[in-house]
Amino acid sequence: MNITPEEQKPCPELPPNLGPYRVETNVSFVMSVRQNEDMEFGGRSKPDTCTALQKIAIVIPFRNREPHLEVWLYNMHPFLKKQRADYGIYVVEQNGDAKFNRAKLMNVGFAEAIKDYDYNCFIFTDVDIIPMDQRNLYRCFKNPRHMANSLDKFNFKLRYKTVFGGVVAFSKEQFQKVNGFSNVFWGWGGEDDELYQRVIAMGMSIERPTQEIAKAKAFVHGRDTGNERNVKTIPLIRKAKERMKRDGLNSLDYKVISITKHRLYTKITVDIGLPEGHLF
């Protein structure tokens, strides 16, 4: 029987049969493609028997981390399908070898994904974090949500009360309300804490799954070349509230170099420029 989308029922609020999930690390792209031949190119999928309540864009900042991406995709497609998500994967790759800017890549992912589909929920995730429990819903909630609060590499402990890195979920409205991430954090660190300050400054608060449900695998790795620690974060974070009106989605400037729809993800390669004051 053919059911047209109009006749479909909305999916249940909570997908059935969710539980602990064992992350598979011994994988390859070929294995993932074989497992996911039902996908639309660009890494899009949606439940076929009901209409999902949210349309979710998953944004991954990226440069030179193929092995992690391979593992992420292998595990996350089945995970998201199990959660009956209507979703698309956007891998936003920084071109060139300037300092890495995770936050700006997230903003680019948001700006490009909304051109693609009517997304109303955005999950911004590192490429090296994979949930260990399917009850950790990759969705949007009443408040911006932090979902990387219980990582194996930190013994499943919350590192500090306001931590907001790794994986976060924002509805489209919530993300626009904070004007996205700051664009001026080059190198490692601080942009996640600054985003937390934006959320608070706009009168919102954050929420998290329980430490049990949020359990996740985070790969241990060295610091990447080009992503050295940013030593100038404290004054930036302190001024988050006043800067957020002019630094973020509304000041986002970049050049798309290419957009490629692979079977398992959409790769957006982008020139995001250089830090202000950069000299050759």
Stretch that binds ligand UDP, among 136-144, 171-179, 220-228, 266-274 (CB under 6 A): 220-228
Backbone angles phi, psi at 89, to 5 degrees: -105, 125
CB of 167 to ligand UDP, least distance (A): 10
- Residue closer to Mn ion, measured from CB, 70 or 86: 70
Under the criterion CB under 6 A, does residue 102 sit at the interface with ligand UDP?
yes
Under the criterion CB under 6 A, does residue 100 sit at the interface with ligand UDP?
yes
CB of 51 to ligand UDP, least distance (A): 31
Stretch that binds ligand UDP, among 125-133, 139-147, 203-211, 257-265 (CB under 6 A): 125-133
Element (H, E) at 146: strand 145-146
From the list Mn ion, ligand UDP, none, which binds 61 (C-beta under 5 to 8 Å, kind-based)? Answer: ligand UDP
Q: Give the closest residue to 83 by CA, choosing from 116, 52, 114, 112.
A: 52
Tell me the C-alpha distance between 179 and 3, whole Å.
Answer: 39
75 contacts: CB under 8 Å, gap ≥ 6: 21, 23, 24, 27, 130
Query: Which residue type is seen at 190?
Result: G
Under the criterion CB under 6 A, does residue 181 sit at the interface with ligand UDP?
no
260 contacts: CB under 8 Å, gap ≥ 6: 266, 267, 269
Site string for ligand UDP, 6-45 (x = CB under 6 A): ----------------------------------------
From the list Mn ion, ligand UDP, none, which binds 162 (C-beta under 5 to 8 Å, kind-based)? Answer: none
Query: Which residue type is seen at 43?
Result: G
- Residue closer to ligand UDP, measured from CB, 60 or 113: 60
Stretch that binds ligand UDP, among 27-35, 57-65, 230-238, 240-248 (CB under 6 A): 57-65
Q: Would you tell me how many other CB atoms lie within 10 Å of the CB of residue 76?
A: 23
Judged by DSSP in three states, 155 sits in coil
What secondary structure does DSSP assign to 160-228, as a single string?
STT---SEEEEEHHHHHHTTSS-S---SBSSHHHHHHHHHHHTT---B---TTTTEEEE---PPPTT-P
From the list Mn ion, ligand UDP, none, which binds 127 (C-beta under 5 to 8 Å, kind-based)? Answer: ligand UDP
Element (H, E) at 81: helix 66-82
Contact footprint for Mn ion (CB under 5 A): 128
From the list ligand UDP, Mn ion, none, which binds 186 (C-beta under 5 to 8 Å, kind-based)? Answer: none
Site string for ligand UDP, 58-77 (x = CB under 6 A): --xxxxxx------------
Binding residues for ligand UDP (CB under 6 A): 60-65, 100, 102, 126-128, 188, 224, 226-227
